[in-house]
A and B are shown apart, each in its own frame.
Chain A
Amino acid sequence: MDIQLPQIIFQIINFGVVMGAITFLMYKPIQKVLDERASKIAEGQAAADGLISEKKNLEVSKLKIEREAEKKAATLIEEAAKKATETKKEMVEKAKAEAQAEIEKLKLQWQAEKQQMVADMRQEMIETVMAVSAKVLGSKLDAKTDAKLIATELDKLTK
Protein backbone atom coordinates (compact mmCIF):
# COMPACT_ATOMS: atom_id res chain seq x y z
CA MET A 1 0.00 0.00 0.00
CA ASP A 2 1.50 3.23 -1.16
CA ILE A 3 1.12 6.47 0.62
CA GLN A 4 0.48 9.20 -1.86
CA LEU A 5 1.39 12.56 -0.45
CA PRO A 6 -0.61 14.69 -2.90
CA GLN A 7 -3.67 12.65 -2.12
CA ILE A 8 -3.15 13.24 1.63
CA ILE A 9 -2.61 16.97 1.10
CA PHE A 10 -5.74 17.08 -1.05
CA GLN A 11 -7.68 15.33 1.66
CA ILE A 12 -6.34 17.71 4.32
CA ILE A 13 -7.30 20.75 2.22
CA ASN A 14 -10.65 19.23 1.44
CA PHE A 15 -11.26 18.59 5.16
CA GLY A 16 -10.28 22.15 6.04
CA VAL A 17 -12.59 23.60 3.42
CA VAL A 18 -15.48 21.47 4.69
CA MET A 19 -14.66 22.43 8.28
CA GLY A 20 -14.51 26.10 7.37
CA ALA A 21 -17.77 25.88 5.49
CA ILE A 22 -19.46 24.08 8.36
CA THR A 23 -18.11 26.54 10.90
CA PHE A 24 -19.18 29.50 8.86
CA LEU A 25 -22.55 28.23 7.70
CA MET A 26 -23.73 26.06 10.63
CA TYR A 27 -21.87 26.65 13.90
CA LYS A 28 -22.35 30.41 14.14
CA PRO A 29 -26.13 30.48 13.40
CA ILE A 30 -26.68 27.59 15.78
CA GLN A 31 -24.56 29.33 18.42
CA LYS A 32 -26.55 32.50 17.85
CA VAL A 33 -29.85 30.62 18.23
CA LEU A 34 -28.58 28.94 21.36
CA ASP A 35 -27.43 32.25 22.81
CA GLU A 36 -30.81 33.80 22.07
CA ARG A 37 -32.57 30.84 23.65
CA ALA A 38 -30.35 31.05 26.72
CA SER A 39 -31.05 34.75 26.93
CA LYS A 40 -34.80 34.14 26.67
CA ILE A 41 -34.60 31.42 29.32
CA ALA A 42 -32.66 33.78 31.58
CA GLU A 43 -35.28 36.48 31.00
CA GLY A 44 -38.05 34.01 31.70
CA GLN A 45 -36.26 32.85 34.82
CA ALA A 46 -35.84 36.45 35.96
CA ALA A 47 -39.49 37.14 35.25
CA ALA A 48 -40.47 34.00 37.12
CA ASP A 49 -38.22 34.99 40.04
CA GLY A 50 -39.83 38.43 39.98
CA LEU A 51 -43.29 36.92 39.95
CA ILE A 52 -42.37 34.57 42.81
CA SER A 53 -40.98 37.51 44.76
CA GLU A 54 -44.09 39.55 43.95
CA LYS A 55 -46.26 36.62 45.01
CA LYS A 56 -44.39 36.38 48.30
CA ASN A 57 -44.81 40.13 48.78
CA LEU A 58 -48.47 39.80 47.98
CA GLU A 59 -48.86 36.95 50.44
CA VAL A 60 -47.12 39.01 53.11
CA SER A 61 -49.36 41.96 52.28
CA LYS A 62 -52.38 39.66 52.30
CA LEU A 63 -51.44 38.32 55.73
CA LYS A 64 -50.83 41.83 56.97
CA ILE A 65 -54.17 43.01 55.61
CA GLU A 66 -55.90 39.95 57.06
CA ARG A 67 -54.37 40.60 60.47
CA GLU A 68 -55.32 44.27 60.31
CA ALA A 69 -58.82 43.31 59.20
CA GLU A 70 -59.10 40.79 62.03
CA LYS A 71 -57.82 43.38 64.47
CA LYS A 72 -60.22 45.97 63.12
CA ALA A 73 -63.07 43.47 63.20
CA ALA A 74 -62.22 42.58 66.79
CA THR A 75 -62.19 46.28 67.69
CA LEU A 76 -65.50 46.83 65.92
CA ILE A 77 -67.05 43.82 67.65
CA GLU A 78 -65.75 45.06 70.98
CA GLU A 79 -67.10 48.56 70.33
CA ALA A 80 -70.42 47.14 69.15
CA ALA A 81 -70.66 44.96 72.26
CA LYS A 82 -69.81 47.95 74.44
CA LYS A 83 -72.36 50.09 72.66
CA ALA A 84 -74.96 47.32 72.92
CA THR A 85 -74.30 47.07 76.66
CA GLU A 86 -74.64 50.83 77.04
CA THR A 87 -77.81 50.87 74.95
CA LYS A 88 -79.21 47.99 76.99
CA LYS A 89 -78.37 49.81 80.19
CA GLU A 90 -79.98 53.01 78.90
CA MET A 91 -83.08 51.12 77.81
CA VAL A 92 -83.36 49.40 81.17
CA GLU A 93 -82.93 52.72 82.98
CA LYS A 94 -85.47 54.38 80.70
CA ALA A 95 -87.93 51.54 81.24
CA LYS A 96 -87.37 51.78 85.01
CA ALA A 97 -87.95 55.54 84.92
CA GLU A 98 -91.10 55.10 82.85
CA ALA A 99 -92.37 52.40 85.19
CA GLN A 100 -91.63 54.62 88.20
CA ALA A 101 -93.42 57.54 86.54
CA GLU A 102 -96.39 55.30 85.79
CA ILE A 103 -96.44 54.10 89.42
CA GLU A 104 -96.31 57.71 90.65
CA LYS A 105 -99.08 58.65 88.25
CA LEU A 106 -101.21 55.74 89.40
CA LYS A 107 -100.49 56.62 93.04
CA LEU A 108 -101.58 60.21 92.46
CA GLN A 109 -104.63 59.02 90.55
CA TRP A 110 -105.48 56.59 93.33
CA GLN A 111 -105.01 59.31 95.97
CA ALA A 112 -107.21 61.70 93.99
CA GLU A 113 -109.86 58.99 93.61
CA LYS A 114 -109.60 58.22 97.31
CA GLN A 115 -109.95 61.89 98.22
CA GLN A 116 -112.88 62.24 95.85
CA MET A 117 -114.47 59.14 97.37
CA VAL A 118 -113.99 60.50 100.90
CA ALA A 119 -115.42 63.88 99.81
CA ASP A 120 -118.39 62.17 98.16
CA MET A 121 -119.00 60.06 101.27
CA ARG A 122 -118.72 63.14 103.45
CA GLN A 123 -121.17 65.06 101.30
CA GLU A 124 -123.55 62.13 101.23
CA MET A 125 -123.32 61.80 105.00
CA ILE A 126 -123.96 65.52 105.48
CA GLU A 127 -126.89 65.39 103.07
CA THR A 128 -128.34 62.47 105.03
CA VAL A 129 -127.79 64.17 108.38
CA MET A 130 -129.39 67.35 107.07
CA ALA A 131 -132.36 65.47 105.62
CA VAL A 132 -132.88 63.63 108.91
CA SER A 133 -132.46 66.86 110.87
CA ALA A 134 -135.01 68.60 108.64
CA LYS A 135 -137.46 65.76 109.14
CA VAL A 136 -136.94 65.72 112.90
CA LEU A 137 -137.17 69.51 113.16
CA GLY A 138 -140.24 69.53 110.92
CA SER A 139 -142.01 67.07 113.13
CA LYS A 140 -140.84 68.56 116.42
CA LEU A 141 -141.30 72.25 115.63
CA ASP A 142 -144.79 73.10 116.87
CA ALA A 143 -146.70 76.31 116.20
CA LYS A 144 -145.84 77.80 119.57
CA THR A 145 -142.12 77.33 119.17
CA ASP A 146 -142.34 78.61 115.59
CA ALA A 147 -144.19 81.70 116.80
CA LYS A 148 -141.43 82.36 119.33
CA LEU A 149 -138.83 81.93 116.62
CA ILE A 150 -140.64 84.36 114.32
CA ALA A 151 -141.03 86.92 117.14
CA THR A 152 -137.33 86.70 117.96
CA GLU A 153 -136.37 87.22 114.32
CA LEU A 154 -138.72 90.19 113.98
CA ASP A 155 -137.17 91.75 117.09
CA LYS A 156 -133.74 91.36 115.51
CA LEU A 157 -135.04 93.10 112.39
CA THR A 158 -135.67 96.38 114.16
CA LYS A 159 -132.55 96.35 116.34
Chain B
Amino acid sequence: MVQVIVTTARELAKTEVTAVEKQLLKRYPAGVTLKFLVQPEVLGGIKLSMGDEEIDATVLASLSAVKQQLLKG
Protein backbone atom coordinates (compact mmCIF):
# COMPACT_ATOMS: atom_id res chain seq x y z
CA MET B 1 0.00 0.00 0.00
CA VAL B 2 1.21 3.44 -0.92
CA GLN B 3 0.23 6.40 1.21
CA VAL B 4 -0.59 9.45 -0.89
CA ILE B 5 -1.19 12.93 0.48
CA VAL B 6 -3.47 14.85 -1.85
CA THR B 7 -3.33 18.65 -1.48
CA THR B 8 -5.89 20.95 -3.16
CA ALA B 9 -7.13 24.52 -2.76
CA ARG B 10 -10.67 23.40 -1.96
CA GLU B 11 -12.39 20.34 -0.63
CA LEU B 12 -12.88 17.83 -3.44
CA ALA B 13 -16.26 16.51 -4.40
CA LYS B 14 -16.92 12.79 -3.96
CA THR B 15 -16.68 12.20 -7.71
CA GLU B 16 -13.33 13.94 -7.76
CA VAL B 17 -12.08 11.84 -4.82
CA THR B 18 -13.13 8.71 -6.67
CA ALA B 19 -11.41 9.88 -9.84
CA VAL B 20 -8.22 10.59 -7.92
CA GLU B 21 -8.29 7.17 -6.29
CA LYS B 22 -9.00 5.48 -9.61
CA GLN B 23 -6.12 7.21 -11.38
CA LEU B 24 -3.71 6.46 -8.54
CA LEU B 25 -4.68 2.77 -8.53
CA LYS B 26 -3.72 2.63 -12.18
CA ARG B 27 -0.27 3.77 -11.20
CA TYR B 28 -0.03 1.80 -7.95
CA PRO B 29 -2.06 -1.40 -8.44
CA ALA B 30 -1.04 -2.74 -5.01
CA GLY B 31 -3.39 -0.21 -3.45
CA VAL B 32 -3.27 3.33 -2.07
CA THR B 33 -4.20 5.11 1.15
CA LEU B 34 -5.31 8.65 0.56
CA LYS B 35 -5.03 11.58 2.90
CA PHE B 36 -6.61 14.85 1.75
CA LEU B 37 -5.30 18.30 2.71
CA VAL B 38 -7.01 21.60 1.87
CA GLN B 39 -4.61 24.52 1.43
CA PRO B 40 -6.24 27.59 -0.25
CA GLU B 41 -2.81 29.15 -0.84
CA VAL B 42 -2.11 26.62 -3.62
CA LEU B 43 -4.86 28.50 -5.53
CA GLY B 44 -5.92 25.53 -7.69
CA GLY B 45 -4.80 22.25 -9.22
CA ILE B 46 -3.53 19.27 -7.26
CA LYS B 47 -0.38 18.13 -5.44
CA LEU B 48 0.36 14.46 -4.79
CA SER B 49 2.99 13.45 -2.23
CA MET B 50 4.06 9.80 -2.14
CA GLY B 51 6.94 9.39 0.28
CA ASP B 52 9.96 10.98 -1.40
CA GLU B 53 8.13 11.49 -4.67
CA GLU B 54 6.02 14.60 -5.21
CA ILE B 55 3.92 15.68 -8.19
CA ASP B 56 3.01 19.35 -7.82
CA ALA B 57 0.46 20.44 -10.40
CA THR B 58 -0.96 23.36 -8.43
CA VAL B 59 -1.43 26.89 -9.75
CA LEU B 60 0.96 28.09 -7.05
CA ALA B 61 3.68 25.74 -8.35
CA SER B 62 3.12 26.98 -11.91
CA LEU B 63 3.37 30.57 -10.75
CA SER B 64 6.53 29.74 -8.81
CA ALA B 65 8.04 28.16 -11.91
CA VAL B 66 7.16 31.23 -13.98
CA LYS B 67 8.64 33.43 -11.28
CA GLN B 68 11.87 31.42 -11.25
CA GLN B 69 12.11 31.69 -15.03
CA LEU B 70 11.57 35.46 -14.86
CA LEU B 71 14.19 35.83 -12.13
CA LYS B 72 16.70 33.79 -14.16
CA GLY B 73 16.08 35.70 -17.36
B37 to chain A, nearest CB (A): 14
- For residue B27, CB closer than 8 A to chain A, the reply is yes
In the complex, the number of residue pairs spanning A and B with C-beta atoms less than 8 Å apart equals: 66
A150 to B47, CA, bound (A): 9
Q: A134 contacts B43, CB within 8 Å?
A: yes
Shortest B51–chain A CB gap in Å is 16
Q: Which one of B9, B48, B60, B70 contacts A126 once the chains associate, using CB atoms below 8 Å?
A: B70
Q: Which of A126, A146, A157 contacts B44 (CB 8 A)?
A: A146
Cβ of A7 within 8 Å of any chain B Cβ, yes or no, is: no
- Does A153 have its Cβ within 8 Å of any Cβ on chain B? yes
Is B46's CB under 8 angstroms from A134's CB? no
A150 touches B43 (CB 8 A): no
**Once the chains are docked, how many angstroms separate the CA of A110 from the CA of B60?**
37
> B52 near A: Cβ within 8 Å?
no
Cα A102 to Cα B67 with chains together (Å): 39
- Total residues of chain B contacting the partner, CB 8 A: 27
Given contacts A141-B44, A153-B57, contact A158 B26 (CB under 8 A): yes
Q: Say whether B8 contacts A150, CB under 8 Å.
A: yes
Q: Does A2 contact B (CB under 8 A)?
A: no
Q: Chain A residues near B19 (CB, 8 Å)?
A: 151, 154
Q: Mark A130-146, 1 if CB is under 8 A from B, else 0.
A: 10011001100101011
The reply to whether B45 and A153 form a contact with Cβ atoms under 8 Å apart is yes
Whether A137 contacts B55 by the Cβ 8 Å rule is no
**Cα–Cα distance between A147 and B9 once the two chains are bound (Å):** 11
Given A123-B71, A134-B63, A146-B9, answer yes or no on A155-B44 (Cβ-Cβ < 8 Å). Answer: no
A130-B63, A153-B46 given. 9 additional CB < 8 A pairs?
Answer: A130-B66, A137-B63, A149-B46, A150-B12, A151-B16, A153-B45, A154-B20, A155-B23, A157-B27
